[in-house]
Amino acid sequence: MTEDPKTDTSRIARRSVLASLSIGTTVLAGCMSGSDDTDDTSGGNGLSADGSDVFASIEMNGTHLEVEVADGTSVESINLIDPNRELADQQRLANGETKTSFEILGRFTDDLSTGEYELVALDEDETIEKTTITLEADCTITDVLWAAENPDMEWDKNSPVWDEYAAVVIENEGTIPSMLTELRWKGAPAAKLGTDDTISYYHETRLPAGKTTVYSVSQIYQTGGATGSLDCSELGTEPMTVMAVVQIGDNPTYTQQIKYSGGQSCNLSIVNGSSGASQSNGGGN
């Protein structure tokens, strides 16, 4: 992908600003070293302010991490420390303000390091409290569905070949959303019609916490077309593996066994109980 020079310039400028912030926040080194004169309120797994006297709530809202401090607490600024123990961002609270937010999923998403972050509350360069949170997307593919076997789903039935489409169910068990950018179908019936064993289609689908059903943008279970048809007498039970390329986290895969029969008429069936569990394929951030 060609880099946008404006984006590169913006990223460099942002990092320069953060570097200058770190110089002005001398207490940061002390709070990261775990000095005894500060409270260390761990949020545990995920996003939580449980047990904190300073942080009232911590949660993802769309693309931003929203942080609220308790009423009556004097907090001048909040630092976000990344997994490399470096200052990722800083937000200041004006007098009387109790809420602020950090952009987590936006123009700088490609630069996001997942893992454990720290939120550090400061007042006049004094560490008031810090808490640990986890920013991570954990996506798995839980099912691959064939339109012909699932006609009640939301297929585009204006298409005469809608029953050859597929849907992928992706579950995100992480604390932040990810973005699906591509689905790669290795060994799909439609791929066997061509010279490559993999067909690939781009997507732009947000993957929040929970399950998201993504519909294919073309025929996956296609066995014939203008260029010819499959001879299923030459095929038996073959694996089809779909990989979901995601922007944050590892790329999950899922394998489904497809039985080919019927010779030139080519009948397909999904082998019951043969769909493999979703596996991480790496390649994430």
Give the whole-number percent of the chain exceeding pLDDT 70: 77
Using the predicted structure, report yes or no on whether residue 49 has a pLDDT greater than 50: yes
Amino acid 51: pLDDT: 82
Amino acid 278: pLDDT: 55
Amino acid 283: pLDDT: 47
Q: How far apart (Å, rounded) are the C-alpha atoms in residues 242 and 183?
A: 7
Question: What amino acid occupies position 237?
Answer: T
**Torsion angles phi and psi, residue 139, rounded to 5:** -100, 140
Written in H, E and C, the secondary structure of 17-37 is HHHHHHHHCCHHHHHHCCCCC
Amino acid 98: pLDDT: 94
Rounded average pLDDT over 114-127 = 93
Query: For 60-64, 114-118, 140-144, 169-173, which range has the lowest pLDDT when averaged over its residues?
Result: 60-64
Give buried/exposed letters for 77-103 (b at 16+ CB in 10 A, else e).
bbbbbbeeeebbbbbebeeeeeebbbe
Using the predicted structure, report yes or no on whether residue 28 has a pLDDT greater than 90: no
Torsion over CA: 266, 271, 275, 276 (sign): negative
Report pTM. Answer: 0.73
pLDDT digits (tens, 9 = 90+) for 61-85: 888 999 999 998 999 999 999 999 9
Amino acid 86: pLDDT: 94
Query: For 90-94, 101-105, 184-188, 211-215, which range has the lowest pLDDT when averaged over its residues?
Result: 101-105
Angle at 42 between CA 37 and CA 45, to 5 degrees: 165
* Residue found by looking up tokens 């604390």 in the block: 175
Helix H or strand E encompassing 135: strand 126-135
Helix H or strand E encompassing 67: strand 64-69
The answer to whether residues 206 and 172 touch, using CB atoms and an 8 Å cutoff, is: no
pLDDT digits (tens, 9 = 90+) for 270-285: 997 644 555 655 544 4
* CA 258 to mean position of chain CA atoms: 28
Q: Which residues pair with 260 in a beta bridge?
A: 268
* Residue found by looking up tokens 């560490």 in the block: 127
Give the E-state strand segments of the chain in sequence order. 55-61, 64-69, 77-81, 87-92, 99-103, 115-123, 126-135, 139-146, 166-172, 178-186, 198-207, 210-215, 224-225, 228-229, 237-246, 252-261, 267-270, 279-280
Rounded average pLDDT over 81-107 = 90
Mean pLDDT, the chain, whole residue set: 81
Q: How far apart (Å, rounded) are the C-alpha atoms in residues 137 and 139?
A: 6
Helix H or strand E encompassing 8: helix 5-24
